[in-house]
């Protein structure tokens, strides 16, 4: 991605984007732009909808209360996301919020919660997860919105992986070995799934299931046990740096 204007506020919007288009703002968006950022009529923002690329738009007032945006010109064409699914055992609130945002910033195209034996937070607030994904997308400059999925039992999620997708299994029990070498053997740009387990780690039968997957890469993340949210950042950074879009 070329360097782009990350000082101008970015907003994810639903409507199609074309020159002269008028975009109504919901209460939260209007409050964010006018009260939090204290923007006024004529000030510019960047908008994207996941389909039409990124466009500049101007804040416009109509009467005292009503503000909306008028689309002017396209600043970046639409481009796709990495084909990188992030599978994870749900964590509790703040740690889950953090992990979702970091996965989006690190290029995950899909967030797939998986329920494992030692998962401690089986319920997930999907609206909250989606709001975190949108906020992360607005902040990190991507033009797509990461897909957020309903939780699945681990075995179902693994069975549902498309043929040809490599499963990068972050295994806290794996002997320490070079993660860069393990990942560098993968074809660059291949469809990937990265899996990080729960606070309680993986159960033995889950480990057996995962290690029999035809395209599994067992990844050790050093000699220490990382917290699941730390493992997420470490694993996704290694993947992007070796076979992803960081090079």
Residues in touch with ligand SAH (CB under 6 A): 170-172, 174, 196-197, 199, 201-202, 219-222, 224-228, 231
The least CB distance from residue 170 to ligand SAH, in Å, is: 4
- In b/e form, how buried is each residue of 179-201, taking b as 16+ CB within 10 angstroms? beebbeebeeeebbbbbbbbeeb
Nearer of residues 174 and 241 to ligand SAH, judged by Cβ: 174
Q: Would you state the structure tokens that stand for residue 87, as one six-digit string? A: 């599978």
The least CB distance from residue 199 to ligand SAH, in Å, is: 4
The least CB distance from residue 247 to ligand SAH, in Å, is: 23
Distance from C-alpha of 228 to C-alpha of 93, rounded to nearest angstrom: 13
Nearest to 49 by CA among 163, 138, 156: 138
Nearer of residues 44 and 201 to ligand SAH, judged by Cβ: 201
Distance from C-alpha of 89 to C-alpha of 198, rounded to nearest angstrom: 5
Nearer of residues 18 and 225 to ligand SAH, judged by Cβ: 225
Nearer of residues 158 and 228 to ligand SAH, judged by Cβ: 228
Residue nearest to ligand SAH (CB): 197
DSSP one-letter string for 155-221? HHHHHTSPTT-EEEEE-TTSPP--HHHHHHTSPTT--EEEEE--TT---HHHHHHHHTSTTEEEE--
The least CB distance from residue 180 to ligand SAH, in Å, is: 14
Interacting residues of 78 by C-beta distance below 8 A, sequence separation 6+: 51, 52, 53, 143
The least CB distance from residue 197 to ligand SAH, in Å, is: 2
Nearer of residues 70 and 220 to ligand SAH, judged by Cβ: 220
CB 180 within 8 A of CB 119: no
Nearer of residues 137 and 195 to ligand SAH, judged by Cβ: 195
């Amino acid at each position: 991605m070329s360097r782009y204007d990350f000082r101008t506020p970015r907003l994810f919007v639903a409507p199609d984007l074309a020159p002269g288009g008028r975009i109504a703002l919901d209460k939260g968006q209007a409050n964010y732009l006018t009260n939090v950022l204290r923007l006024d009529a004529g000030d510019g923002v960047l908008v994207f909808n996941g389909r039409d690329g990124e466009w500049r738009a101007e804040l416009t007032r109509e009467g005292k209360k009503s503000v909306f945006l008028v689309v002017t010109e396209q600043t970046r064409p639409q481009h796709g996301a990495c084909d990188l699914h992030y599978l994870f055992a749900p964590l509790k609130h703040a740690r889950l919020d953090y992990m979702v945002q970091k996965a989006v910033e690190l290029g995950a195209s899909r967030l797939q919660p998986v329920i494992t034996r030692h998962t401690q937070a089986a319920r997930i607030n999907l609206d909250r997860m989606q709001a975190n994904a949108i906020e992360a997308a607005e902040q990190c400059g991507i033009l797509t919105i990461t897909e957020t999925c309903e939780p699945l039992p681990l075995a179902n999620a693994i069975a549902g992986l498309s043929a040809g997708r490599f499963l990068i299994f972050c295994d806290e029990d794996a002997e320490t070995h070079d993660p860069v070498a393990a990942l560098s053997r993968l074809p660059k740009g291949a469809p990937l799934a990265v899996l990080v387990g729960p606070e309680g780690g993986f159960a033995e039968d889950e480990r057996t299931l995962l290690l029999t997957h035809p395209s599994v890469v067992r990844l050790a993340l050093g000699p220490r046990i990382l917290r699941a949210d730390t493992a997420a950042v470490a694993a996704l950074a290694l993947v992007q740096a070796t076979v992803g879009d960081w090079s």
